[in-house]
Structure 1
Amino acid sequence: MGLTSCDVLPRSGPNKQEIYAGSVQREGDAFVVAANDRVTRATAVVPALGFSSNFINAGQVGSDTVRPGDVLGVAIWENVEQGILASAGAPAALQEVQVDGSGFIFIPYAGRIKAAGNSPEAIRRIVTDKLATQTPDPQVLITRVAGDGATVSITGAVSAQGVYAIERPTRTLGAMLARAGGVAVNPEVAVVKIIRGHTTGQIWYQDLFEDPRLDIALRNGDRILVEADTRAFTALGATGTQTRVNFSTQNLSALEAIAQVGGLNPTLADPTGIFVFRNEDAEIANNVLGRTDLVGAQRMVYVLNLTEPNGMFTARDFVIRDGDTVYVTEAPYVQWAKVITALTGTLGAAESLANAGSTVGLLGAP
C-alpha cells in the first residue's frame, strides 16, 4: 500500500486547516477569532490584586499599646506614713498584674481598669486619678514586664521566616518584610498575602513601592504569606520547547510568552499560524464576537499572524492569561518534506532489500 495521507506522518499537533475545521462557523465547538487591536483590548484582563478599605484605612497601632495577656509591673508610692497601700516612700507590695481576656486589670482601691488599647503611660494616669481621691498625690509607675506587644507571623518565600514583634520601625507591611530579610523570589512575580481574622487581602510585592496606600499598618496576629505567582501557560507545537511555563512578569504578552520558551523553531514554525486556546468568560466572549446571547464559558481560539503588517504589534499587545495554551503550527513545507523523506526512505529501504536479495541469489548460485 502506498503513502496516501500526511496523517500517518509524525507531527507536533493539528495544522491550521484542522483547527479552523473545528470552529463554530464550521459546526465545531470553538470560536476561532483573528486577533486585532479591538480583540486585544477586549481580552486584556489581568488579575486585580489589592487590599480592601478595611486594610487601607486601619491606622497604625503604637508599639507600646497594651493587649490582653500582657503582664504589667505596677509600683505605687504614697506621701503619708500610713497609706492605703504602702507606708511613706515605700512602694506597694503589688508588683505584677496580667491583663485579662477582656482587656482589664484590677488595682486595689482603684478598681477594675481598662488596660487593653492603652499605653502604659495612659494606664498610669488612669490609676493616679483613681487613687488621688483616696490618698494625697500618689506616684504611680506602670511598665510592661512580659509580652512584647503585638506580633505578626511571616512565612513563605522570605529570607527569614518567623514571628516578629510590631515595633516602632516595623509598624507597616513594607518595613516588616524588610525585617524578615525581604522576598526570596523574583520581586516582579512575588505576591504578598495578609490574613487578618476572617479577612484576606493580597497584592503584588512591587506595588508596595508604587502605591504608598498599600504599605498598610499591621495588626496583632496578622499572618503574612509571601509566594511566587502561580499562574502558568502551556507552550506546544513548533516552539523552542514544549512545556508548562510559569509567568515571569505580572503582565505577559503573546510575544513574550513565545520568547520565554525559546521563540519559534526556525526550521518548523509557521509564523502565520500561532494560536492561543482559552476558555473565555461569556462577557468577554460576547464583546469579542459582537454578540449578547452567549452564556457561560466559551471555547475561544485566537489567531496571531506575525507576517501581517501589524502582526508583531498585535502579538506584543495580546495578553496571555493563566491556563492559556499557546500553540504554533508547523509550516506547510515541513509536512511535504516529511512526505518526501518518508518516500525516499521507503524507496531506499526497498532498494536495499532488492540488493540484499540479489546478493543472496548470487551467493546461492552453483
Structure 2
Amino acid sequence: MISEAALKWLPSRFEELIRYGEFQGPGETITNEEYKARVEIAKQKIVDEGLDALIVFGDCYRMSNIRWLVNYRTIDGVYPQPMLMYLVPDRDPVFFLPSSEIPSAHGSSAMCVLGGDIREIRSEWAPFLKERAAKDKPKKIGISGYTFMDLEFWFPINDAFGDADVQRSTIIEQLKSVKNEAEIASMKRAARVSNAGIQMLMDLLRDSEGITELEATSLVYAAMFANGGHAIAYDIMIQAGEHTDVLFKRPTERPIRRGELVMMDYGIRVNDYASDNARTICYGNVSDEAKRLMEACSLGYEECLQKIYAGMTGIEADRVIREAFRKHEVDEYLVEVSEGRTGAHATGMDPEEDIPEIGPGCANVLEEGQTFAYELSLIVPGIGGVRTEDQVVVRKNGLEPLHTFNRFLYVD
C-alpha cells in the first residue's frame, strides 16, 4: 500500500512534473510535403520490385506503415479500426477507413496533398478491388503489413485477384525503418518523458515498502502523463521477486518487498512515437547473486553500445552481444524473447516494428538512422530475472541511446 510519507510528497511531485514537463520539443514537425515525397519514394520502390500495385495494412495498434505514408492513425477502441491503402505507380493513393474516421482523416492527414481519395473500408473495399482487377489487370501485387492483416480484407483481395501473384512485401517496413531527425526528436522526447516513470517507481519503493505491483503501475503511468506523455505505448510491466522468473507478466496485487529484484518494462507515446525501456532495481539487501545478475546485464549491455554499428548484420550483432555476456559468465541465462531474436526489436511509431532485428538468424543489415529497442534479459531460476532496455539509433560508429537514465539502480 502507499505509505503516508509517499502520500504527502505525491502532490508536490506531480505539480513539479506538470510545471517542468516535456510538453513541447523543437524539430519534431514533419510537413505534408515530406509525406508526399514518401509516397513518391514508395511508388518508385513498387516499380523497382516489379509490382503492379501495393496494398498497405495498418490499424490503431500497428499504425506505423500507414502513418509513415499519410500521417494518420485510427482511434484505439474496442471495435476494430483498420486502415488500408492502395498504391500504384501512376496514380494518387486511395485510402480506406471506417466511416467514423473519414472526416477526421480529411482534416488531419496528409491526404489533402495526395489527391484526397478516402473511402469507406468495409463497404467499398471489395467493389474497388474488383474494379481495379477488371481495368488494370495487375499481375503482381505486394502486401505490406501482411503479418497483421485481418482476414476480412484478405478474402476480397483473393476474390478479385485470384489469378495474380499476390505476395508478401516489406517495401514500407524497410523505408520507415530509417528515421529522419524529426522522428528521432520525438523519440528522444518520449524517452525523456519516460524518465519520470522509473524515477516514480524508485521513489515509491524508497518510501512505500509493501506497495503492490498494480498500485505502483498506476502511479508510474500518472507520472509519465504528467510529464508530457500523450498516450499509452503498451502495457507497463512491474514484476517483483519470483514474478521476475518469467519474461513478461502483468502486474498483480502482490506487495513489493525489500530484498527483491524489481523489474519494470515501461514506455509512453509522444507525437505517436513510442518509448520502450526497461530497468531492474536491486531493492534493499538483495542476494549477491541477484545483484551480480543485474550488474552483469547492464555491463554487458553498455559494452556493446559501441561495438554494434551500421553495416553489421543482425547475426553479427548477436555474436557481439553473446560474447559480451560470455565475458561476464551469464551468456547461458540470456533469454531469446521470440522468433529467434536475442531481444532487440525495431521500434518507432509502434513499440515493436519490423526492421531491423538482431538474432542468430537475422541477416538484415543495420542501416544508419534505423531505430530499435535494444533489449537484453537474463533469467536464473530461483534467483530471478533482470532486463536492461533502451531505444537506440544506429550510427556509423555505434548505437546512440535515446534513453540515458542510469542502468545500475539500487534502492535501500
TM-score bin, normalised by smaller chain: under 0.3
Q: Greater CA radius of gyration, 1 or 2? A: 1
User: Which protein is richer in helix relative to its size?
Assistant: 2
User: Which protein is richer in strand relative to its size?
Assistant: 1
Greater length-normalized contact order (CA 8 Å, ≥ 6 residues apart): 1
Q: TM-score, normalised by structure 1?
A: 0.20
